[in-house]
Amino acid sequence: MVPDFDSAVEQFRRFLSGEKIETSVVWIFRKDAIASGRSILLRIPLPAENERLARRCYFLGQERGLGLRIELLCILDGIPCCYIWVPEDQQAAEYAMLSGLKLCIPVEPINARAVQSSLRWNLNKYFSRRSNLQWVIDQLPARADIREVDRQVQLQSCSREGHSQYTLRFDVVFLGGEANGWNGGNEA
């Protein structure tokens, strides 16, 4: 059984503490990080929605029932930058030896560097394709994937409630609701 998000994060913090690593974590996603040579660059400031999306990613992994992994990717100015990995299918879960919650910290965590400049970020992004660490970045969850799953869940929920397709499209555009009392032309 996989614990709820808050309990899992508390377990992870105790694990970090035992390894003499700061316990206040930040959550990162694929577009927040670039592999550059043997280093990882993080675009700061990190989006405010990252924690909410990490929580959602964890919940989606719980629902899938294949196991989850909370992992430290790197350390930025002493703060652990972490992510939640959810296997795509049963085979991926077996390869990762997942059956519940797995907490991972590399033996030698990578020290990340912060990037604030858009120009520097884009230049590094262009040259990052040749990095030895690109495979690490590729396993980070993508915010867009989590949003897409949420959109699909919302569509399923609306279809069960008997809304028309016209209303469904409207709900997706406005993320869950009627704007100014208009419901897509259907009677309430």
What global pTM score does this model have?
0.76
Hey, which bits of 14-98 come out as E strands? 26-27, 33-36, 39-43, 68-76, 79-85
Q: Which residues pair with 42 in a beta bridge?
A: 33, 114
Distance CA 13, CA 44 (A): 23
Distance CA 73, CA 64 (A): 23
Distance CA 171, CA 154 (A): 8
Q: Which residues pair with 82 in a beta bridge?
A: 27, 72
180 CB neighbour count, 10 Å cutoff? 4
Lowest mean pLDDT among 43-47, 142-146, 158-162: 158-162
The pLDDT of residue 179 is above 70:
no
Q: Are 93 and 87 in contact (CB under 8 A)?
A: yes
Q: Which residues pair with 43 in a beta bridge?
A: 115
Q: What's the pLDDT tens digit per position in 15-24?
A: 999 999 999 9
Average pLDDT estimate for 158-182: 37
Closest CA to 88 of 157, 138, 26: 138
Q: What's the pLDDT tens digit per position in 72-111?
A: 999 999 999 999 999 988 998 999 998 899 999 999 999 9
Q: What's the pLDDT tens digit per position in 115-135?
A: 999 999 888 888 776 667 777
